[in-house]
Amino acid sequence: MRSAGVLMMLMVGSAGSVSAQGSGPVVHHKLMPVPASVKIETGRLALDKSFRVAIAQHRDARLERAIQRMLARLEALTGIAVPRGSAKDAAAATLVVEVRGAGETVQSVAEDESYSLEISARQAVLKANTVVGAIRGLETLLQLVESDANGYFFVFAGIEDKPRFPWRGLLIDVCRHWQPVEVIKRNLDAMAAVKLNVFHWHLSEDQGFRIESKRYPRLHELSSDGLYYTQDEVREIVAYARDRGIRVVPEFDMPGHATSWMTAYPEYASAPGPYEIIRDFGVFPATFDPSREKVFKFIDRFIGEMKKLFPDGYWHIGGDEVMGKHWNENPKIAAFKQKHGFKDNEQLQAYFNQRLNKILRKHGKKMVGWDEIFHTDLPKDVVVQSWRGQESLGKGAKQGYYGILSAGYYLDAMQTAAYHYGVDPLPAASGLSVEEAARILGGEICMWGELITPENIDSRIWPRTAAIAERLWSPRELNYVADMYRRLEASSLFLEQAGAMHVVGADAMLRRLAETDRIEPLRELLRLVEPLSLGQRQGARRANQLTPLTELADIARPDAPARREVMQMVESAVGDARRGAAIDERLAQEFRHWRELRAQLEMLAQRAPRVREADAALGALVELAAAGEEALGFLSRTEAAPKEWTDTKLAMLEQAAKPKGLLRLAVVPAMRRLIEAAGGVSK
C-alpha cells in the first residue's frame, strides 16, 4: 500500500537504539515474549497422566475452550493422554486456573490482559482478572514445558505479567492475493501464541473487494474474482479471534485505493468509468467523489451493514496515498473546492474524513487511518497508524492524538528479526511527556499481499513477528539481540506446534520445484540466501496479481540462518588471537560446503530446470569461498593481506551484495568482516 521505494528510505531511519548485540541481560529461559517479571528456579513439577486442571472462581465457555486447546497442544507435545475434564478438588489439581471475571463483553483496547503464574512442587496456579489474561497465561505455561531423560515437566517459576502496550497487531492484506479462511485461522492461532491481540483485516483494495455485502452485492460479485468471505465466514473468524483474545479491526480503504469500489459502483467515483480490477501493484487514481452527498449516503449504508459483523470499537478507513488525479481533472470537484475555500486536495481529503468520522461515530465506531488522515480538525479520539516513523507518531501524540506504529514492522521489506526488534514505538529518547506517551497505543506488523500466497504467507510472517510481538509486550530494556535469537529459535518450534506452517509450507514448495523429496541441497541453499524486498523485487522483475509466486525467491525465508552462523564463526576466527586450528577448520569446511553445494544443485538442475534460478547466487558463493580461504591463510600466518588483494576482494563483495536474480546472499556481511580483518582494516 505505501509505495515501496519511499517506504524503504523511511524504514532505514526508523530503527531504535538496539545494537547488533544489544546490552540487556541474558535470560535463563526460552519464553517469548518475556514476561514483565519472571523468576525461574531450580525444580520440576512432573507432567504425566495424572495431570488435572481445576477452574476456580469464574467459569465460562470461552475459558473452558481455551483450557481445552491448551490441553490438546500439551498432549500433542508430550504424547501423554491428558484428561480433559476439570478436577473438582483444586487442592488435588496439577493446574489451578483462577479467574475473577469474564472481562469485557466486546474486548477493547482497555481489556485487562495481566496474569500471574506460580509453579512449585505442589502445583501450578494461574491467576487473572479476566479470561483474556488467563489465555495469555496459558500460552506462557505451555512455553515452560521442558523434558529430559526422565520425562516432561514444568520448570518452577514465579511470573507477574502484563503487556507494555495495549495495541499489538498484525495486518494481513487479503486483497492483492487472496487468503482463505483456514490461512487466517492458523495465523490467529500463532498470534495468540505470542500474545498479539489485534487482527487488522485489510479487506478492500484496487485489486479486490473481499467481503460479501447483501446491501451492495456488486461489490463481491464484480470486484473479487469470486474470492471473498461470506458474512457467515466473517462471523466465524471474528468469533475464532475473540476466543483467543484477539480483536478484529476491518479496513475498508477510502477515498483512495478504491478501484474495487468503483468497479462495482462507478457512480460514486470522481471520474467516469468503466473501471475494472487492477492486476498490477502500486498507487492508482480511482477515488470517491467528496463533492456528492450520495457518496456519503452510500458509505453510511455500507458501514451500517458491516458494523453488525465487526463488533470492535475501531474501524480503519485506510486514507493513504490519495493520488488526487481524478479530483484535479473533475470541474465539479474543482468548483466544490473553491466554494468551500479548500486550497488543496489535502484539505478536501480532510473534509471527506470529517464527514466519514461523523458516519462512524453515528455507528459507534472510532476512526483509525494511516498517516495521511492526520489533520487538526479531526477529533482527538482518532487513531493515526504511522508508516512514516516515530517522529510522525510523536508529533501526533504531542497534539493530543492517539497513534500506533507500523514503520519498521513491514514484513515485505525482508528485514532481519534483529532490525524489527530494534524498532520501538516509544524509544527512551522520544521526548514525550508521560501524558503524551500514553497516547502511543502500540504497534502493528504489516503483511502486505503483493508477494504472498496461502503457501508462503506463514514463512513471511513467522518467526520474525514473534520478535516484534516481544518488543510490543515486554519491557523496553529487554534488548539483547543474541539472546532474542536463541529464544526465537525455540519460539519457531512453539509456533509450529500452534499451527503455523512457516517450515512445512516451504518444504512442500521445494519438493514441487525440485520434483523430488530429496531437497536437502535446496534447504542448504536457503540457509545462505534471502528473498529481495518488495521494492527490490519489483525493480528486478515486476510481479503482478497473476504472476506465479513459486520461485526460489518465493520460498526463501527472510533472515537466513547463515547470516548469524557464519558471522559467529568469523568473529571467533578474527577476534581471538589464541584461536585453535579447529576454529579455522570450521570456516574452511563451510567454504568447501559452498562449492559442493553448487555441484549438487547443478546436478539437480539437469532434471529440475527451475533450480537454475540459483545459478547466479551459487556462482557468487564459490567466489566468496575462494576469498574466504585466502583470508584464512593470511590470518593463520598472522600477516596482513596486501592492500591490492584487500581492495580487489572488497570490490568483489560489493558485487556479491547486489541481487542475484531474485535472491540476495545473506553471508556478505560476515565475509566483509573476514576480508577486512585479513587486510588489517579496522572493524
Active-site positions read 321
User: What number of CA atoms fall less than 13 Å from residue 455's CA on the CB side?
Assistant: 16
Angle CA 287–292–296, to nearest 5: 80
For residues 99 and 133, is the Cβ–Cβ distance under 8 A? yes
Interatomic CA distance for residues 321 and 349, integer angstroms: 11
| CA dihedral sign of residues 483, 552, 228, 369 | positive
Alpha-helical (H) ranges within 200-344 are: 218-222, 231-243, 259-264, 293-306, 325-329, 331-340
For residues 569 and 477, is the Cβ–Cβ distance under 8 A? no
**Cell numbers given for 363:** 455507528
β-strand partners of 37: 160
**Cell numbers given for 554:** 518465493
Fill in the DSSP letter of residue 269. Answer: B
Interatomic CA distance for residues 158 and 343, integer angstroms: 60
As to burial, measured by CB atoms within 10 angstroms (0-12 exposed, 13-18 middle, 19+ buried), residue 305 is middle
Instruction: State how far the alpha carbon of 86 is from the alpha carbons of 94, 96, 136, in Å.
Output: 11, 10, 20
β-strand partners of 97: 55, 126
Dihedral, 249, 253, 254, 258 alpha carbons, nearest 10: -160
Fill in the DSSP letter of residue 530. Answer: E
Rg (CA), the chain: 27
For residues 197 and 243, is the Cβ–Cβ distance under 8 A? no
Interatomic CA distance for residues 3 and 1, integer angstroms: 6
For residues 353 and 290, is the Cβ–Cβ distance under 8 A? no
For residues 289 and 270, is the Cβ–Cβ distance under 8 A? yes
**Cell numbers given for 584:** 579455522
